[in-house]
């Protein structure tokens, strides 16, 4: 089994998130682990603060989100020293203040991504580090449904499925590695690398749990939380992880195809 989803991360994430989301976020936590994140840290598209709690617990982190409901949940999470409710393309952030910035699959949803990049650049100290998780252009083609349709010769229907999925997830920008690098270079960053993460295997495991996880989305809309009674749900983490592990083992496709982790810096001069 690939180490992109560890039991330790899954046990921490699963009580608070639907299985499909937990799979994706564990992949990102694993990719971020060990990377240098000097403070203060800016979390762009912070959501409810769960990712920051697990990734940066105890650090000085500022969160920004355009969604007022998510911003209030972020404040309640106590993951952040400051929460800013604003559009990142127009936000007035302290200039040259942050040592690093993380955007966890948020910038692909921003219509004016160039303006978002310039805002983040100004907020970072010279030499400050920028990490962003962004989807690969053809990530949805790694889904089992799309692959099965293509094998049946139904390429047009497969294209419709992938386009619908990207529409549901509100992906306004989908690029290959060179395209993502170009976007942030145009904003003024020095892009140091664009690493593919998220194997076809974990993408298919995500797909397998996607429909059951829709209950979590409904719960989020009604209560503001992905799950209820996380204290009880934690007892299911190990058996559900075993099922995820079995699904991953069934698929030998270990090539990262789903997302990129782009690493960049604000120039020092």
- DSSP structure string for 8-52: HHHHHHGGGS-HHHHHHHHHHHHHHTT---PSSEEEET-TTSHHH
Residue 249 lies in a domain: yes
Residue 192 lies in a domain: yes
Residue 99 lies in a domain: yes
Q: What is the mean pLDDT of residues 99-110?
A: 97
Short-list 62, 33, 26, 27, CA closest to 46: 62
Q: Binning pLDDT at 50, 70 and 90, where does residue 17 land? A: very high
CATH of the domain at 58: 3.40.50.150
190-242 per-position pLDDT tens digit:
999 999 999 988 998 999 998 888 888 888 888 878 888 888 999 999 999 99
Reading the block at residue 138, the tokens are 């053809």
- In the predicted model, is pLDDT for residue 2 greater than 80? no
How far is residue 116's CA from residue 201's CA, in Å, rounded to a whole number?
A: 32
Structural domains of the chain, count: 1
115-147 per-position pLDDT tens digit:
999 999 999 999 999 999 999 999 998 888 998
Percent of the chain with pLDDT over 70: 99
- In the predicted model, is pLDDT for residue 253 greater than 80? no
pLDDT at position 228, please? Answer: 86
Domain hosting 204: range is 7-265
- In the predicted model, is pLDDT for residue 1 greater than 70? no
Residue 87 lies in a domain: yes
pLDDT at position 240, please? Answer: 96
Residue 245 lies in a domain: yes
Short-list 258, 259, 249, 241, CA closest to 8: 241
| Model pTM score | 0.92
67-84 per-position pLDDT tens digit:
888 888 888 888 999 999
Residue 38 lies in a domain: yes
pLDDT at position 142, please? Answer: 84
Residue 1 lies in a domain: no
Residue 2 lies in a domain: no
Q: What is the mean pLDDT of residues 102-109?
A: 96
Q: What is the mean pLDDT of residues 11-34?
A: 93
Q: Binning pLDDT at 50, 70 and 90, where does residue 22 land? A: very high
């Amino acid at each position: 089994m690939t180490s992109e989803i560890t039991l330790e991360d899954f046990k921490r994430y699963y009580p608070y998130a639907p299985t499909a989301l937990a799979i994706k976020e564990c992949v990102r936590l694993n990719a971020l682990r060990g990377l240098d994140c000097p403070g203060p840290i800016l979390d762009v598209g912070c959501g409810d603060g769960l990712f920051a709690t697990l990734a940066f617990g105890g650090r000085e982190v500022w969160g920004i989100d355009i969604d007022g409901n998510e911003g209030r949940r972020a404040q309640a999470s106590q993951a952040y020293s400051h929460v800013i409710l604003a559009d990142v393309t127009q936000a007035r952030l302290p200039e040259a203040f942050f040592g690093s910035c993380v955007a966890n699959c948020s910038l692909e949803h921003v219509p004016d991504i160039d303006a978002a990049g310039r805002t983040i650049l100004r907020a970072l100290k010279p030499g400050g580090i920028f990490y962003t998780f962004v989807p690969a252009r053809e990530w949805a083609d790694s889904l089992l449904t799309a692959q099965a349709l293509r094998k049946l010769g139904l390429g047009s229907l497969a294209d419709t499925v992938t386009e619908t999925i990207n529409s549901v997830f509100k992906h306004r920008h989908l690029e290959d590695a060179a395209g993502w690098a170009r976007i942030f270079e145009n904003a003024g960053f020095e892009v140091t690398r664009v690493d593919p993460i998220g194997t076809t295997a974990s993408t298919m495991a995500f797909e397998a749990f996607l429909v059951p996880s829709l209950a979590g989305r409904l719960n989020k809309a009604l209560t503001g939380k992905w799950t209820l009674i996380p204290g009880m749900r934690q007892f299911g983490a190990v058996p559900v992880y075993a099922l995820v592990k079995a699904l991953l083992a069934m698929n030998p496709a270990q090539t990262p195809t789903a997302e990129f982790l782009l690493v960049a810096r604000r120039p020092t001069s």
